[in-house]
Amino acid sequence: MIGQCLVFLLLAESAFGENLTKFFQKKNCDPKCTFETQNLTSHSLAFFPTDCSTVCTHLSINEHTDLTEAQLASTFLSMKRLIGSLTVMDTKFKSISFLAGLEAVECGQYSIVLDFNNQMIEFGLTNLTSISCSNFEIIGYKKLRNLGFPNLKSITLDEFSSPFDEFVRLYIDPDSIDFCITVEEMETLISAEDVNVDGIYGKYCTPTTSENLCTFPEICPKIFGDVEVGSSSSIDSLKFMEIIFGSLIINGTNLTNFNFLENLKYVAQLTKGKSAVIVQNNPLLLNVSFPKLKRVRSDNLHTVVFTKNNRNLSLDVNACFGLRSDLGITTHWSPTFDGENCYLINDTANWLKKNKASSNQGSLGLLIFISALIFADLTSTFSGF
Ligand SMILES: *[C@@H]1O[C@H](CO)[C@@H](O)[C@H](O)[C@H]1NC(C)=O
Ligand SMILES: *[C@@H]1O[C@H](CO)[C@@H](O)[C@H](O)[C@H]1NC(C)=O
Ligand SMILES: *[C@@H]1O[C@H](CO)[C@@H](O)[C@H](O)[C@H]1NC(C)=O
Ligand SMILES: *[C@@H]1O[C@H](CO)[C@@H](O)[C@H](O)[C@H]1NC(C)=O
Ligand SMILES: *[C@@H]1O[C@H](CO)[C@@H](O)[C@H](O)[C@H]1NC(C)=O
Ligand SMILES: *[C@@H]1O[C@H](CO)[C@@H](O)[C@H](O)[C@H]1NC(C)=O
Ligand SMILES: *[C@@H]1O[C@H](CO)[C@@H](O)[C@H](O)[C@H]1NC(C)=O
Ligand SMILES: *[C@@H]1O[C@H](CO)[C@@H](O)[C@H](O)[C@H]1NC(C)=O
């Protein structure tokens, strides 16, 4: 999978990648501040424009880099803005704090790749505030504990991104036992309009609670852990929630709509396999639109799951596609209503329309059953992939 990902990145860059020189021209790069040589080594070091605060470069620090962290730190002392691409791969460095002065990276259709640095503990890019790149990839670690981008606030597509890019492809999967993501980092990532957060894996670092960040059943704007709304919940206070770092579960209520979730914008579950929004046993639920919910994250393909609510919901094509589009879901797997995704609900509704004259409950049941079987089969095929 990692191999595939890299090959994809390389292919994407060579197939769609324009001439690097042209990109530097579009960005008005100063030739004196341009370092096109890719691998930084003791031989190429002399050509690095150490006095420039903006450097245009395809910078690659890798196993050929025969320089110490101190040498690198003094090389990058002035560099605040990097235009081009940044690769730190296969090194033995413990951090990349030699790039701590870096504030912005602008890649156009190019990438930031920080892969396979198996001694790295933290990146330590303390001054980094903005990234505008097509890809940002962090994989293959053993000791990484934190991302260490405490000031990263803006992640967007660059003005010169490829027309094929719909969003910044983030792939953060260090696969290191000690690795955790802070709730602040997740909030930055999930609230960035241009970012696909489906490729972020890890667990949350245990946060410090405060007035603004609490654990259910306390209610405040940012909630760490799952929120379970049940028959005995007081609905009024839930309007203060803005983001849940866990799942939203609504189970066994007489609620008819979600209007009480007035301010909820994001639900970001990191626990493996757990859906982000689970709505179960609400027989009176008729409207499934959320007033402000924009984005949900879960590594379960069934991110948003409705089961055993009002039967009529399982036939409501517009409600299903509406919710899917509100949440920016691009896969076919979500949301589901009693196991059926929007496309199956559409098929069922079309079938029903066609057969209105000779309405027959028995064969409708059979159709739903067959659809569910096909869907379950597709799901298992996909999960096995
Ligand atoms: C890139 O573009 C520049 C200017 O348009 C041209 O001089 C150069 O030969 C091109 N390089 C490649 C590798 O195509
Ligand atoms: C730069 O490093 C890459 C990755 O190890 C390697 O494939 C490439 O040959 C190197 N280029 C030069 C000019 O040394
Ligand atoms: C980071 O930014 C602060 C504030 O602008 C500055 O004082 C500090 O020197 C910068 N750090 C580095 C490593 O350049
Ligand atoms: C839902 O409404 C029914 C009928 O009014 C009532 O019997 C039941 O207790 C209600 N359930 C909840 C969870 O409020
Ligand atoms: C919903 O409540 C029912 C009955 O208490 C329980 O069996 C079920 O596991 C709950 N569902 C979720 C998703 O928590
Ligand atoms: C459903 O709920 C949404 C959001 O709360 C609201 O904007 C919409 O008007 C409701 N639709 C109906 C038919 O009541
Ligand atoms: C489902 O919709 C039908 C037709 O619009 C309506 O007669 C029925 O009462 C609805 N069922 C529920 C449980 O709301
Ligand atoms: C629903 O099904 C109809 C008939 O097959 C099709 O024309 C329509 O495009 C489908 N809607 C969506 C959103 O896929």
Torsional sign, CA 50, 54, 58, 64: positive
The binding-site residues of ligand 8, defined as CB within 6 angstroms of any ligand atom, are: 321, 346, 350
pLDDT value at residue 376: 52
| Ligand nearest, relative to CA of residue 288 | 6
> Where does residue 362 fall: left (phi above 0), alpha (psi -120 to 50 degrees), or beta otherwise?
alpha
Ligand 2 within 6 A of CB of 341: no
Domain residue ranges in the chain = 2-203, 213-362
pLDDT value at residue 293: 97
Domain 213-362, CATH 1.10.3470 — does that match? no
Position in ligand 8 atom list of the atom nearest CA 347:
2
Tokens read off for 260? 């009480």
Question: What is the spatial distance between Cα 273 and Cα 43, in angstroms, rounded to a whole number?
Answer: 48
In this structure, which residue's CA is closest to atom 8 in ligand 1?
A: 21
Contact criterion met (CB below 8 Å) for 244 and 227: yes
Task: Report how far Cα 194 is from the mean position of its chain's Cα atoms.
Answer: 10
**CATH topology for the 2-203 domain:** 24 nucleotide stem-loop, u2 snrnp hairpin iv. U2 a'; Chain A (3.80.20)
Question: What is the spatial distance between Cα 159 and Cα 309, in angstroms, rounded to a whole number?
Answer: 45
| Ligand nearest, relative to CA of residue 231 | 4
Contact criterion met (CB below 8 Å) for 94 and 119: yes
Contact criterion met (CB below 8 Å) for 106 and 27: yes
Q: Which residues, in sequence order, are bridge partners of residue 177?
A: none
The binding-site residues of ligand 3, defined as CB within 6 angstroms of any ligand atom, are: 100-101, 127
Helix axes 342-354, 317-326, angle to 10 degrees: 160
Question: What is the spatial distance between Cα 341 and Cα 314, in angstroms, rounded to a whole number?
Answer: 9
Question: What is the spatial distance between Cα 366 and Cα 368, in angstroms, rounded to a whole number?
Answer: 5
- CA-nearest of 87, 213, 90, 195 to 141 is 90
Identical fold, 2-203 and 213-362 = yes
Tokens read off for 197? 């957060």
Mutate to test the pocket of ligand 7, among 308, 312, 338 (most ligand atoms within 8 A of CB): 312
pLDDT value at residue 368: 57
Tokens read off for 232? 């005995």
Question: What is the spatial distance between Cα 8 and Cα 100, in angstroms, rounded to a whole number?
Answer: 29
- DSSP 8-state assignment for residue 364: H
Q: Which amino acid is at 190?
A: I
| Ligand nearest, relative to CA of residue 314 | 7
Question: What is the spatial distance between Cα 296 and Cα 199, in angstroms, rounded to a whole number?
Answer: 13
In this structure, which residue's CA is closest to atom 6 in ligand 4?
A: 254
- Exposure string over 114-133, b if 16+ CB within 10 A, otherwise e: bbbbeebbbbbbbbbeebbb
Contact criterion met (CB below 8 Å) for 166 and 28: no
Q: Burial of 336 by CB count in 10 Å (0-12 exposed, 13-18 middle, 19+ buried)? A: buried
pLDDT value at residue 163: 82
The model's pTM: 0.86
Ligand 1 within 6 A of CB of 359: no
- CA-nearest of 238, 243, 278 to 262 is 238
Each residue's pLDDT, cut to its tens digit, for the chain (385 residues) gives 444 444 444 444 443 446 778 899 999 999 999 998 889 999 999 999 999 999 999 999 999 999 999 999 999 999 999 999 999 999 999 999 999 999 999 999 999 999 999 999 999 999 999 999 999 999 999 999 999 899 999 999 988 888 888 889 999 999 999 999 999 999 999 999 888 888 999 999 999 999 999 999 999 999 999 999 998 888 899 999 999 999 999 999 999 999 999 999 999 999 999 999 999 999 999 999 999 999 999 999 999 999 999 988 888 999 999 999 999 998 899 999 999 999 999 999 898 888 875 555 555 555 555 555 555 544 444 443 3
